[in-house]
Amino acid sequence: MSVEITTGPPEVRVPVSTEATDTVGTAEAVLSKRTGAPVRLADAEDLGGSDRSVVMRVRIAESPFELPRTVVVKHYGECPEDARSDPFAHEAASCQLTTALPPEVRIGPELIAHDANERLLVLEDLGRGSTLADVLFADDSRVAERALLAWARALGRLHSTTAGCEADFDALMRRLGAKSWVDPVADDIVRSVSELPELLTQVLGVDTPAGMVERLRAASEMLGSSRYRAFSPSDICPDNSLVTGSGVRFLDFEWGCVRDVAMDAAYLQYPFPSSWCSYALPDNLAESMLSTWRSEIAEVWPELDDDAVLMPRLFNAQLLWVWVSTWWFLPRTGELDRPIDLHMPSPRRSTALVDRWRHLRSDAQGAGLDDVAEFADRVVDALVDRFGAGALHLLPYPAFRTE
């Protein structure tokens, strides 16, 4: 059976249909409508954007009302009819939800104005500070460690303050006309459970036992309803996390959703498995990050401070991340073992995958799951046989490298 398999995390490809000047004019109209008086913008600065949207910083040059000196404008192109989710709707609903939080616990930019017809957002400008990626690729290990712990604290605070928000998020998405508001990654996890076994056989010569597939299907139940659900930016990669004097703030909610908090907590155990920025962390730092996250969510879910409750859920989430990221990144037959992202300082795909499967093997052994550990061991051996011994050595982030 031939299967169509993507080679990376899910992306919603939306063509940009507006020029920068059109975006400024549209933002002026949206802000003028919002304030009830003319607003003029100036000094537009391109912030990168993507093939889905134009993103820029602009100065408020004229307004009869008090507005911030600068704002960030994000203007989306039209969403194709066959797209599985609408990134504008996800981001608009997410920003509405998080803006409603008290300012002292807000973890993203404030939503100043938006227009669903124009598909445009006007957001608080969080400034020109460093992202977590900038810090991890610098040369100060202490600064990097503090930033990672602040990231974990911000994530826990987000979870604790948005627990039980699913009905509100659903209502916001429906109001925006969204067809779907589930976690976009969940769709890929479900597909990978069915399709990765054949790929492992084709590429690595590793057959997946039926018991492993059943374990994955059982783990996938956390993608549905549970009592441990909260808002998640979903794409909480280092380049979407801004390090500020008041803590880490999350950017880019194009995949924002409500999901089991264990899926996010596992993201800091196997650092950033959907990101190009996925290098090794020093020993014990991941455990410190997990403890920091737990200290923030314990008041809402005190039972998750009990290892007997949390660790099995966390292991299932880790298993799902390893599985789906292998489906995303495993080089297919005839495909080069290239970096995760050709345009960023990424590790080779095989190297990142070996590291994840080795960690999974160790965690499975610690949990007494011998069948998972044995299977992970076979995958590691097969990856090394297929791609060479160099795949065994995942470097730490530059901030933690010693000469």
pTM of the predicted structure, to 2 decimals: 0.90
- Greater confidence, 238 or 9? 238
| pLDDT tens by residue, 327-382 | 999 998 888 999 998 888 899 999 999 999 999 999 999 999 999 999 999 999 99
- C-beta separation of 233 from 94 below 8 A: yes
What is the pLDDT, as a whole number, of residue 343? 85
Start and end residues for every CATH 3.90.1200.10 domain found in the chain:
132-400
As a whole number of angstroms, the distance between CA 245 and CA 30 comes to 31
pLDDT band at 226 (very low <50, low <70, confident <90, very high): confident
Helices (H), 36-178: 87-99, 132-136, 141-162, 166-175
Does the pLDDT of residue 16 top 80, yes or no? no
Q: How confident is the model at residue 181 (pLDDT cuts 50, 70, 90)?
A: confident
pLDDT in the model for residue 135: 96
CATH 3.30.200.20 spans which residues of the chain? 20-124
pLDDT digits (tens, 9 = 90+) for 118-169: 999 999 999 888 999 999 999 999 999 999 999 999 999 999 999 999 999 9
Is domain 132-400 annotated with CATH 3.90.1200.10? yes
CB 85 within 8 A of CB 184: yes
Cα–Cα distances in Å, from 221 out to 117, 154, 190, 192? 36, 26, 10, 14
The CATH class that applies to domain 20-124 reads alpha beta
State the average pLDDT for the chain. 90
Q: Give the per-residue pLDDT at 18.
A: 43
